[in-house]
Structures are given as structure tokens and as C-alpha cells.
Structure 1
């Protein structure tokens, strides 16, 4: 795409499609709002230096006060070609895109509080049991130079098929927790079935809550 638009910074892997859930959330919003954008692919060891170079704000802070640089990050030149706006943090970016490009809204009027609770559930409860399963799979799909950086020097963890003893039991327990959360979420979404066959979080209107969930899936 033309460089006159939005640049999304994403993490490279060994598969052709994007894979990081938080970055997928922004990609889905960009596509839904039909905003022209291009992707810059980074290996994990490149992320901090690249984000510092383009003036991206830190997405968090360590306990000792040092900044943390994470993706997603966007650079928007649609609004001002002379002074591009650089943003980090998935929720900050989503709020910005909605405020700046309100067409095809992802926050219907009066829904922000409920959507915020839903997204919090997805991030803090629904995803948590998935991590012991997703992290090893993610590690396997990263380029070699990113693998050690991703696991921060910890030993690589194998998939359930290669585990034995206590590790296998822990893996099976993780899957049971995942199933429990999927069943609970299905029961919640099923409550919309009687509302004119609604199938998404807000019934029939696609919203930010749906992108948060679909990005994980």
C-alpha cells in the first residue's frame, strides 16, 4: 500500500499470516474501518530499538522504572503528513482509531463500559488458561533469532505430545481450564440467540469486544 496511510508494526514469524493476538485486534479494526495501511515486520530483538527510533511511547514500565516497548504500534500519516502520529498500547490505538475515524463505529453509543468489562474478561480470564498451550506453539513459529529473545533465556517448553509425567498432567489440566472458559463464553454469547439471531457480543452490531475475542481465536 502507499506510505500515505497507517503503518502497523507487527512481529515476524515463520508462517505467512500474522499471529500475535493484540496486533490482530488492531489489524481487524483497520480492515473493518477500511483504512489504508501497510505492515512493517520486526523480529523480537529489533522491536525496542525500532520503536525508540520512530519515537513510539513506551507501552508499560518495569518495577525499576525502565520503559517497556511492545507491539502493536501504529504510525498515522493520514491526518498529518508533516508530523506523523505514533501510538502504542492496543487499547490506546483502538480508542484513537475510533475517535479519529468514526465511520463504521466499534463503540456504539452507551456501550463502552460493558465492552471494557468484556475485553477485560477476554484478556485477564479467557486467555490466561491458554497461555501454557499458546506460548510453546508461538515459540516454534518464530524465526531462530527471535526464539531466545521470546523466552527470555528460559528453556524451551515442548508441546503436550512430547511431555511426560507431571508436565503432561499439567498440560492436560490446562486444556480442561481452556474448555471450561470456552464453554462459559459460549453460554454467554448464546444469550443473544433469542435477540433476532444475534451472534456477536452486542447482538448484531460488530464492536471492539468482538475484535478482542476474534484476535485471540
Structure 2
């Protein structure tokens, strides 16, 4: 039986390019697994209304116990009379896709727990200093009528340089960790040693974010780090960057 045509919800920017890193994680997995899907674009101001209308679970609970609706989200049609499966948050979506569509796994056998911990490390340590740079830049790239939904003060020159130095330090350390895969364990480029996995797509989602939002500053810098490691990883993931 052919897999269903999945709907992936995404937010548009002022340019036609997909940029949101958490949504790119899902798109990478869908492309890698060769699952049929289509992107439905929704404005930030319409995210909660749209997700409520399809019965999506909230991504979290906010102040005053109010549910918070956020992307990524996917809808997987089912045969009537069954209701569609609607999922939110990247980790829940990816783990479901891996279970429901096990061909071309992004969690090689026995690696799920290790990759989950690695992704937490990426989010909490490696990517954290990048947020102060990228969130304001992402805000600028949004259409004017939705910019109020993401706020962030732009950095002054010296402050931005210090922030980029902090980001480089984290990515250099990550590169040193991955270099331990050189030799009999792998080529030192990808997290699991030889084959692409979910952890690589998480890293590449961040690279795409920088390339799409800060192509002439941020991406120019990162291309030169660690002897071009991040460009090589980009090239390794390039076949799975289609936006359908």
C-alpha cells in the first residue's frame, strides 16, 4: 500500500525559501524516507487557528495553563472512517515517522537514545549562542504584517562579533567531537560514522537557517570553519533539501 500524502505545515518568509530550522528537521526526514508530502503555508498569525481546526495537540502549556500551538506540525490522512493523525513538536513527529515508515531509517538500530541526547546537546549548548543573532535576523525577513509575532533587537557590530565568536567556539568543539569518528568508525563527517541520520539533519537544519537568513554574513563565516566541514555536511545532505 502506498504511503499517504502527508501535509507539512510551514511559515512563509518575505522570500520564497523555507527557512525555519525546526520545520526543516521534518522536511529532511520526509525527503530522506521518500514519503509523499506537500507543504501548506500558514502565516504566524494563523498558526493557532489552523492547528486547532485540524485537531492538533498543543506543543506545550504556557502561562495560566493556556495551551501553546506552534509548528512543526504534520497531518497524515487515514482511510475513512478513521480520523487523520495530527502531530506536533519535532521529536514526536520524527519518532512517529520512524515507527510508521521504517524504511530508510534515520535512527539506525540501537541509536535512538543516543541521538536524542545528542540533539538535546545541540539545542542547549551548540545552538543556544546562535539564537541571539538569528532570531532578530529572522524577524527582519518575515513579511511586515507578521513581524510582530517574532521580536528581537538587532545587535550592534561589536556585540555581533562577540556573539559569532561564541558560536564558532561551540561549532569548533562539535567538529572536534565528530572528528573522533575518523578512521575505522567512519569518515568523521556524520554523527553515526558512515550513514546520514536524524542528528545530521538537525545540524543541517541549523546550517540552512543561517544560509537562508544570513547568506552574506553568517553563512560566509560558517563555510570557512573547521576546514570546510559544514559545507561538506551541507553537500552530503543536499539531495534531501527539496521543498515539495
Q: Same fold (TM over 0.5)?
A: yes
Structure holding more helix per residue: 2
1:212 counterpart (184, 199, 202)? 202
The residue number in structure 1 matching 2:235 is none
TM-aligned CA deviation for residue 55 of structure 1 = 0.7
State the alpha-carbon separation in 2 of the partners of residues 107 and 186 from structure 1: 21
State the alpha-carbon separation in 1 of the partners of residues 163 and 79 from structure 2: 47
Change (3 A) 1:100 1:150: same
State the alpha-carbon separation in 1 of the partners of residues 25 and 186 from structure 2: 26
TM-aligned CA deviation for residue 28 of structure 1 = 0.1
Unmatched segments (≥5 aa) in structure 1: none
SS at match of 1:75: strand
When the two chains are superposed, the root-mean-square deviation of aligned CA atoms in Å is: 1.4
The residue number in structure 2 matching 1:103 is 103
Aligned residues of 1:133 and 1:174 also touching (Cα < 8 A): yes
- The answer as to 2:76 corresponding to 1:80 is no
Alignment of 1:1-217 (within 5 A): 5-77=5-77, 79-80=78-79, 82=81, 83-151=83-151, 157-158=153-154, 160=155, 163=156, 168-194=157-183, 195-217=185-207
State the alpha-carbon separation in 2 of the partners of residues 89 and 132 from structure 1: 22
TM-aligned CA deviation for residue 27 of structure 1 = 0.2
Change (3 A) 1:103 1:81: farther
SS at match of 2:109: coil
TM-aligned CA deviation for residue 177 of structure 1 = 0.8
Point out the more displaced range, 189-198 or 104-113: 189-198
Aligned residues of 1:72 and 1:90 also touching (Cα < 8 A): yes
Unmatched segments (≥5 aa) in structure 2: 208-244
SS at match of 2:196: coil
Q: TM-score w.r.t. structure 1 length?
A: 0.89
**Number of aligned residue pairs:** 202
SS at match of 2:64: coil
Aligned residues of 1:8 and 1:39 also touching (Cα < 8 A): yes
Q: TM-score w.r.t. structure 2 length?
A: 0.79
1:164-202: per-residue Cα shift (whole Å, max 9, x none)?
xxxx44322211110100110110111112234242000
SS at match of 1:172: helix
Change (3 A) 1:9 1:81: farther
State the alpha-carbon separation in 2 of the partners of residues 96 and 80 from structure 1: 18
State the alpha-carbon separation in 1 of the partners of residues 79 and 28 from structure 2: 23
Aligned residues of 1:119 and 1:209 also touching (Cα < 8 A): yes
TM-aligned CA deviation for residue 123 of structure 1 = 1.1
Change (3 A) 1:106 1:81: farther
TM-aligned CA deviation for residue 63 of structure 1 = 3.3
